[in-house]
Homo-oligomer: A and B are copies of this chain.
Amino acid sequence: MSSQYLLNLRIRLPVLLLLLEAALILIFGFFVSYDHSQNLPRDYPVFQDVNLMVIFGFAYFQAFLYRYGFSTIGFNLLLAALGVQWAVIVDGFLFHFSAGKIRINLQSILTAIMSISTVLISRGAILGKANLMQLIWMAVMEVTVFTVNRWLAVNLLQIESHVSVMHVHLFGAFFGLMVSWMLYHSSLSWKAEKERSKPISDMFAVLGTLFLWIFWPSFNSVLITEQDKKWTAIYNTYLVMATSTIAAFSFSIATSKNGKLSMAHIQNATLAGGVALGFSASNIQQPWIAMVLGLAAGTISVLGMAYLQKHLDPALQIHDTCGVLYTFGLPSLLGGIIHVILILTNHNKNLSVFGCSALIEVGALSLSLCLSLFSGLLTGFILTCKLWKTPPVTKYFDDQVYWEFPHLAV
From known contacts A14-B253, A232-B36, A258-B10, infer whether A203 and B206 are also in contact, taking CB-CB under 8 Å. no
A17 within 8 A of B: yes
A34, B288: Cβ atoms closer than 8 Å: no
A17: chain B residues within 8 A (beta carbon) = 246, 249-250
A199, B250: Cβ atoms closer than 8 Å: no
Alpha-carbon distance between A11 and B253 when the two chains are bound, in angstroms: 8
A295, B250: Cβ atoms closer than 8 Å: no
* Of B10, B285, B288, the contact of A29 (CB 8 Å cutoff): B288
A21: chain B residues within 8 A (beta carbon) = 243, 246-247, 250, 291, 295
Which residue on B lies nearest to A20, using beta carbons? B246
Each complex incorporates copies of this chain amounting to 3
A151 within 8 A of B: no
- Give A contacts to B, CB under 8 Å: 3, 6-11, 13-14, 17-18, 20-21, 24-26, 28-29, 32-34, 36, 39, 41-42, 44-46, 48-49, 51-52, 55-56, 59-60, 63, 66, 69-70, 73-74, 77-78, 80-82, 84-85, 104-106, 109, 132, 191, 196-200, 202-204, 206-207, 210-211, 213-215, 217-218, 227-228, 231-232, 234-235, 238-239, 241-243, 245-247, 249-251, 253-254, 256, 258-264, 266, 270, 285-288, 291-292, 295, 399, 402-407, 409
Supplied contacts A7-B258, A77-B245, A104-B235, 20 more A-B pairs, CB within 8 Å: A8-B259, A13-B249, A21-B250, A28-B291, A29-B286, A34-B285, A44-B234, A45-B48, A48-B217, A55-B210, A56-B207, A74-B263, A78-B246, A85-B239, A85-B242, A106-B235, A196-B406, A199-B399, A262-B404, A263-B403
